[in-house]
Structure 1
Amino acid sequence: MLSSHDLFGILQRKSVTVHFQPILSLKNHSVIGYEGLSRGIGPRGETIPPLMLFEAARRENRLVDLDRLCREAVFEVYRGIQDNEDSLLFLNLESSLLDTVPPGNGYLLEQVIGRKIDPRNVVIEIIESKVNDMANLIEFVDFYRPRGFLIALDDVGSGYSNFDRIAAIKPDIIKIDRSIAKDLDKNYYKQEVFKSLGNLARKIGALVLTEGVETEEELLWAMEFNADFAQGYFLARPQPYNTGITENAREVMSQIKDRFKHLKVRRIESARKRHQVYDNTVQYIVEKLIKSEAYRFNGLLQEIIGEFPYVEALYILDGKGIQCTDTIINGNANVSRRKIFQSAKRGNDLSLKEYFYVLIDSGLPKYTTDSYISFATGNLCRTIATTFNGFDNRTYVLCVDILEAGNSSGLTV
């Protein structure tokens, strides 16, 4: 723990050093800016991590002084960078101060203008969950955005994010929290959260920056999900500014882009082969059914399903969406025992199921749903539905539930 005496010494001597971490564009593989990160220098020359530094300042009621000192240090170094390259400065703001400091006092603006820094090059990072006073937060954003500053929401997707505030703040950039990026290549649920945040950002006109990228695989998946920017140890660690950190990050991206293109092609080819297998499976089952009378459908599905380990369930609806067979579940399926998951029964009305009404109303020969949680098993699946005319010349709909793999988008790394 940093003592109050050491904290006061750091503030008095202005003993902070600045590290910069490059932020790369995943679209044109270039460094578009740097996040400025301050560290304290203790009385014996030791580096004081930012968390320890700010915890001490909060304890001693010196947050305003420390926050302004850190910003001044970042600006002093950045104005030299700005003279040599056109890059953005991502600036951390101690967001909790917006509850106590008048949000439109213009102090930050004075710091920027006083050092001849173009406000359009400055991205103010806000952790909205640290701000209790929503009116102050909006007033702050409304003051700085018209003056050219960009607004980024930091740590989005962490346990404390309030998504209702995103609409109010209208950020230019959403920074997806490290907790989501970690193991993105292995965790299907994080992949879906990442995609959802990305979709949200694009719909409100914001760009997506994934932070805390530590492995090649995490970066590849962020690229797969159309992130615009990335930062993290895999690309470059925070360090005192020098042209070498830019070159190193660019070299990493140069190597990654070729690997990503190769994997993208493999993914598409893998998906094509997988869908061909599914199409053949559906056609095979239909060919069996059209030669059979309706009363035999149930037994026929029971006989067939074991041939296809990737098929989780089979069932048939009539032309009005009424289920006319049992839901036949594959013997190798991992069926949830929770009471919320109950398979549909013969006679149930499934006419409001997407795979029924879209298929019938559109006149398509076949329809495949997006991934969803099956009420029959509790597993993630897709349903492939297709119409066929039975032995009695009536219209039926065959429904084939395909078990989703853990890596739903099929990118194999």
Structure 2
Amino acid sequence: MQQTHDAEQTSLYVTADYHHLTLTSHFQPIFSIPHRRPVGYEGLIRAVDPQGIPHSPLELLAIPQSGKEKLSLDRLCRRLHMHNFAKQPNGETWLFLNLNSQCLISQRPDAGFMTALFEQTDITPRHVVMEILESEIDDRQYLLSLIRHFRQLGCLIAIDDFGAGHSNFDRIWELEPDIVKIDRSMIRGAGTSSRVERILAGVVSLIHEAGSLVVIEGVETEREALVAIAANADMIQGFYFARPQQRITQNLKFAEDIDHLLAIQQRQRFKNNHQMNQNFKKIETLFRQAISEFSITNAFDTSSHILFREKRAVRCYLLDEVGFQMARNVYSPHYQQKMDTRFTPLLSGDNANWSHKHYHFRAIEHPGEMQVSRPYLSVADSRMCITVSQTVMVHNKLYVFCCDLDWQDD
């Protein structure tokens, strides 16, 4: 490795020669959304030839041919990143280091390399996050021992590129990483599809349930940044906020960017809530008419058709106090033309019990008050819907009157 003097700093910047290429470290910030500042930096390798022409990381990683050579390059990259990170004003932040999992499997190196590197750079292990591409390692026992080794040193463990390739949730339960980095492909899909956006939010929620923090990486547009924030990610990384740079500098603009995004999100929530309230004014009026009609006449079919004046209304059904369905589903004439006969086994609610559903137990807990569920996937036809429900007393018997509203993505 070589040292080059930076005219603007008193410290020396470390580079390395490798197969006629000059290797340098670049650092990309990883920002905490609630803290509104960088909390870590991912070390990324960059290579240029003697003519100053850059070579991609993929071209660099294709040079070593044997497992031993790959391990040597992997260690060289880590050494560069550690030395250069130590020489910069990084504060109380993490350094994220990528491991070449394949060469570790083939070479099974001794465990002393990182220990020596910590001593050489004076970086404490608690400031280092080891990124592992778990999909590359089939030997679970070795993977667990590798993670155990770095944890014993005091490092944090991150699973990288989750959601790409053959990533499985069982690895999250088994490995118990401190951080999970969600692959760029998920945020790219979520940025253009409401369905994928919901899936991303569900993935983040599951990872949180497993006890890991979440970084969404590869954020490149304002829309993707808004989706990442809405999905409840803890940290965020990508070109939209900052590109990798040799020098770590204070990014005061990130706080402004986050404030801007949160303001957009707040306005959108207000707009959506206003629109939903407008939509529900009509639905609420029809629903209360249907409830009143049913309480007087006990004619469920007739009462249901009052609601079908609203085009979003799909089906009505009646439950008893303990959740059993008391009558067949009554479908809107508008919806019957769209019914997917492939789901015929699910269309009938005869003898079904829905007591575990929020629209039933919330109605029971709040008698006489209209309840509106959040959007969910209906088991009746595998479509997104919202359920409006309310208890109603007929002949001294308590029922829960329910109406599903079609809530497909616009």
TM-score normalised to the size of structure 1?
Answer: 0.83
Q: Specify the alignment match of 1:86 in structure 2.
A: 92
* CA distance in 2: counterparts of 1:330 and 1:104, whole angstroms: 71
Q: Does 1:35 align with 2:42?
A: yes
Q: Relative contact order: is structure 1 or structure 2 higher (C-alpha 8 Å, sep ≥ 6)?
A: 1
Q: Specify the alignment match of 1:160 in structure 2.
A: 166
Q: For residues 14-413 of structure 1, what are the structure 2 equivalents within 5 Å?
A: 15-42=22-49, 44-58=51-65, 62-82=69-89, 85-102=91-108, 105-243=111-249, 246-247=250-251, 250-268=252-270, 270-271=272-273, 274-275=276-277, 277-278=279-280, 281-291=283-293, 296-302=299-305, 304-305=307-308, 307-319=309-321, 321-329=324-332, 331=334, 335=338, 337-342=340-345, 344-345=347-348, 347-352=350-355, 354-355=357-358, 357-359=360-362, 362-364=365-367, 365-390=369-394, 392=395, 394-406=397-409
Go from structure 1 to structure 2 and tell me whether the alpha carbon gap of 1:322 and 1:172 turns closer, same or farther (over 3 Å shift): closer
Supply the AA of the counterpart residue of 2:211. G
* CA distance in 1: counterparts of 2:130 and 2:276, whole angstroms: 45
1:397, CA displacement in angstroms? 2.4
* CA distance in 2: counterparts of 1:147 and 1:169, whole angstroms: 17
1:103, CA displacement in angstroms? 6.1
Paired residue total = 392
Supply the AA of the counterpart residue of 1:81. Q
Go from structure 1 to structure 2 and tell me whether the alpha carbon gap of 1:11 and 1:198 turns closer, same or farther (over 3 Å shift): same
1:285, CA displacement in angstroms? 2.8
Conservation of the 8 A alpha-carbon contact between 1:10 and 1:42 = no
Go from structure 1 to structure 2 and tell me whether the alpha carbon gap of 1:38 and 1:346 turns closer, same or farther (over 3 Å shift): closer
- Helix, strand or coil: the match of 1:151? strand
* CA distance in 1: counterparts of 2:354 and 2:92, whole angstroms: 58
Q: Specify the alignment match of 2:10 in structure 1.
A: none
**Larger displacement relative to structure 2 (333-342 or 173-182):** 333-342
* CA distance in 1: counterparts of 2:246 and 2:34, whole angstroms: 26
Supply the AA of the counterpart residue of 2:30. I
**Larger displacement relative to structure 2 (196-205 or 119-128):** 196-205
Give CA deviations for 1:240-277 in whole Å, capped at 9, x if unaligned.
2252xx43xx3144133134134325404632652574
* CA distance in 2: counterparts of 1:194 and 1:213, whole angstroms: 13
* CA distance in 2: counterparts of 1:342 and 1:329, whole angstroms: 19
Percent sequence identity over aligned pairs? 28
Conservation of the 8 A alpha-carbon contact between 2:88 and 2:248 = no
1:27, CA displacement in angstroms? 0.9
Supply the AA of the counterpart residue of 1:337. D
TM-score normalised to the size of structure 2?
Answer: 0.84
* CA distance in 2: counterparts of 1:206 and 1:236, whole angstroms: 24
> Unpaired runs of 5+ in structure 1?
1-8, 408-413
Go from structure 1 to structure 2 and tell me whether the alpha carbon gap of 1:299 and 1:328 turns closer, same or farther (over 3 Å shift): same
- Provide the aligned C-alpha RMSD in A: 3.0
- Helix, strand or coil: the match of 2:207? helix
Give CA deviations for 1:34-64 in whole Å, capped at 9, x if unaligned.
1111123335432221122213325786211
Conservation of the 8 A alpha-carbon contact between 1:298 and 1:325 = no
- Helix, strand or coil: the match of 1:205? coil
Give CA deviations for 1:292-346 in whole Å, capped at 9, x if unaligned.
56574324433541x2123232233455623424431351678352523556447
> Unpaired runs of 5+ in structure 2?
1-15
